[in-house]
Amino acid sequence: MSEHSTLVIGQVLDIRSNPFDTPPDDAARYSRRGCVHIENGRIVDVGEADALRAAHPHARIDDHGDGLILPGFVDAHAHYPQTAIIASWGKRLIDWLNSYTFPEEMRFADPDYAGEIAARHLDLLVSYGTTSVASFCTIHAASVTAFFEAAAARNMAVVAGRTCMDRNAPDGLRDNAKTAYDESKTLLETWHGRGRAIYAITPRFSPTSTPEQLEALGGLWADHPDCPMQTHLSEQTDEVEWVRELYPHRRDYLDTYESHGLLREGAMFGHAIWLTDSERARLREHGAALVHCPTSNTFIGSGLFDTARAEAEGLRVGLATDTGGGSSFSMLHTMASAYEIGQLTGTALHPAQLLWLATAGSAEAMRLQARIGSLAHGSDADLVVLDLASTPAIAQRHSRAETIWEAVFPTIMMGDDRAVAAVYIAGARHDTGDRGGGGHNRPVSPIIADSLGL
């Protein structure tokens, strides 16, 4: 037995396969009294608590009672430099960038300020149960260094990159094709694969990059194909029209990336609401990922992303807060917003589908599914433990639940940081405050696990 062996006990739920392709009950593994066995920061087994306790009598025990153990939440698209301006009065996208985002990003030339916000951002995420994030930084190398250093201090698996812009941005936030390539390359070589850090090649979006810059970044990605690439695509209709004016010889918005070597597996496109049929087909063909940002899309008035359609077409889909355009750091709130948008687009997303998007789906979008987003053997031991009766309103609904899905759905729809009892990052426990979490000493629902056939 390893001296670093821990048994994390509670209700255990893992969505093992895509519930958009498989009936939710068949996609899930649920145990009313389950256990996750962790050794040296990785998951080595998941099973029944009594059996694993008997097999590992000397392991440390973390018993969360009726707390629900899930893979840690994965936020596939965020802007950590926008942490301090979240929930600024809403305008259209370009106005929002000019009024709030660009002035704030100017401050990240200061390494101390960048370090302060990076630490704040990651601590906020952990308080809401998020253990991994893909984030844009700013044009400043100091902003990238600060973010990766803050993540390393918390041992978090993160994806991030220097945001590149060489036009349509204020003085102090513009570079050029050469500096974008050179500085991104230096940061990539410094951070990519160091600890749990992954570097992402990061053009902000086509309106703020010339064709020459996109070409340079496409070349950098060709030289480092194991890195992901993150950017934005078709968030608003006026943005799509702007791209058409800026790139008159490109057949559509996606082609501004495709023609410069920025479309293939490993590409992550935030928003992707206003796509043509041709764009959808090419995204699927190349194995690129779309990242649904529901709270941002409603907050800025961008439109409604059709998750069910994207999944039915075989597109890869992740879920994200898009802070600070998004209005919450919480993936629970983000799942609730995705459910509501699903209703408006004609499909009521099942709780299993929402949890999949917030864990394994986002991990797949980031090409990190072998490491995060599930409770699979060998995965990094990133977990969140939810109290399914964290507030009186949630508790009274939870008390009537007859299945695990009925038990967890009220927390998805109404839960906040009070629902997060504990977080594990690479096996290390991070308690999230004394809020009565973990389900201890609370009345619990008569969950009928047998009804799931699990």
The string of pLDDT tens digits covering residues 135-186 is 999 999 999 999 999 999 999 999 999 999 999 999 999 999 999 999 999 9
pLDDT surpassing 80 at residue 438: no
Annotate 65-78 with DSSP letters as a single string. EEEEEEEPEEEEEE
Q: For the chain, give every domain's residue range.
A: 5-71+376-452, 73-365
pLDDT surpassing 60 at residue 409: yes
Tens of pLDDT, residue by residue over 5-37, are: 999 999 999 999 999 999 999 999 999 999 999
- What dotted CATH number matches 5-71+376-452? 2.30.40.10
Q: Which helix (DSSP H) or strand (DSSP E) does residue 441 occupy? A: none
Report the pLDDT value the prediction gives residue 92, as an integer from 0 to 100: 65
Residue 93 binned pLDDT confidence (cut-offs 50, 70, 90): low
Report the pLDDT value the prediction gives residue 145, as an integer from 0 to 100: 98
What CA dihedral angle connects 346, 352, 353 and 354, to 10 degrees? 90
Report the pLDDT value the prediction gives residue 94, as an integer from 0 to 100: 67
Report the pLDDT value the prediction gives residue 326, as an integer from 0 to 100: 82
**13, 28 Cβ separation under 8 angstroms:** yes
pTM flag (> 0.85): yes
Mean pLDDT computed over every residue of the chain: 93
pLDDT surpassing 70 at residue 334: yes
Mark 395-409 as b/e (b = at least 16 C-beta within 10 Å). Answer: bebbeebebbbbbbb
Report the pLDDT value the prediction gives residue 140, as an integer from 0 to 100: 97
Residue 341 binned pLDDT confidence (cut-offs 50, 70, 90): very high
Report the pLDDT value the prediction gives residue 103, as an integer from 0 to 100: 87
Please, which residues bridge with residue 74 across strands? 132
Question: Smallest Cα–Cα separation from 356: which of 31, 76, 15, 13?
Answer: 15
Report DSSP state, residue 264. S
Amino acid at 303: G
Residue 90 binned pLDDT confidence (cut-offs 50, 70, 90): low
pLDDT surpassing 90 at residue 109: yes
Tens of pLDDT, residue by residue over 218-262, are: 999 999 999 999 999 999 999 999 999 999 999 999 999 999 999
Annotate 376-427 with DSSP letters as a single string. -TTSB--EEEE-TT-SHHHHHHHTT--SHHHHHHHHHHH--GGGEEEEEETT
Over range 317-331, report the average pLDDT: 94
Counting Cβ atoms within 10 Å, is residue 4 exposed (0-12), middle (13-18) or buried (19+)?
middle
pLDDT surpassing 80 at residue 96: no
Q: What share of the chain is helix, strand, coil (3-state, %, to 5)?
A: 40, 20, 35
Over range 417-428, report the average pLDDT: 97
Report the pLDDT value the prediction gives residue 155, as an integer from 0 to 100: 98
Q: Is 234 left (phi over 0), alpha (psi -120 to 50) or beta?
A: left
Cα 57 to Cα 68: distance, rounded to the nearest angstrom: 23
Report the pLDDT value the prediction gives residue 99, as an integer from 0 to 100: 78
CATH topology of domain 73-365: TIM Barrel (3.20.20)
pLDDT surpassing 70 at residue 436: no
Tens of pLDDT, residue by residue over 260-294, are: 999 999 999 999 999 999 999 999 999 999 999 99
